Amino acid sequence: MPLAHRLYDNALVLGPTGRLDHDNCEAFREELAPHLERSAKDGTSIVLDLSGLEYVSSAGLRCFMLAAKQAKAQNSRIVIAAMQPVVAEIFQIARFNLVFEAFPKVRDALAALSPAAAAAFDRG
């Protein structure tokens, strides 16, 4: 799964796309790992921009759970933004809305993480 990433000051926006299920969840975890490591080292916060994610299975949700656990253990932050309606419903049914802070738009998430990141986003 291609994982586009873009840094806005001290916040990194990652954008998984397509479907996240048994077939590609390990590849997604491998792609996510260096970003989580970086987050531990320099305190960068992570926004998962899910606007391009069409579907997530239990295996994909497990990847999100592992990322949330790692972020908590290393005292860094990872939040969700811009979920498509289907993915938002799946998050709700699986009670992942209680695991992650979720925001309607990427900018909302950045603003909640740091004013500098939101300002960088506004500058484009």
Partner 1 sequence: MRVRFWGTRGSIPVALTSADIRDKVAEALFRAEGRRFDSVGEAHDFAVKHLDFSLTHTFGGHSPCVEIETGTEEYLVCDMGSGARPLGAHVLARQSGKPATVNVFMSHVHWDHIMGFPFFGPAYVPGTHIRIHGCHEVIEQAFRLQQAPPCFPVEFSQLAADIEFVKLTPGRAHEISGVQVTPTPQMHSGESYGYRFEAGGKVVVYTTDSEHKLENRAQTERFVRFFHGADLVVFDAMYSLADAISVKADWGHSSNIIGVELCQMARVKHLVLFHHEPAYDDATIEGVLRETRRFEELTRGTQALQISAAYDGLEIDV
Positions that interact with partner 1 (CB under 8 A): 22, 55, 57-59, 61-62, 65, 69, 86, 89-90, 92-96, 98-99
Helices then strands (H, E): number in the chain?
5, 7
Least CB distance to partner 1 at residue 21 (A): 9
Position 95: which residue type? Answer: R
Between 95 and 123, whose beta carbon lies closer to partner 1?
95
C-alpha–C-alpha distance, residues 43 and 121, integer Å: 18
Short-list 69, 91, 73, 72, CA closest to 81: 91
Least CB distance to partner 1 at residue 55 (A): 8
Least CB distance to partner 1 at residue 51 (A): 18
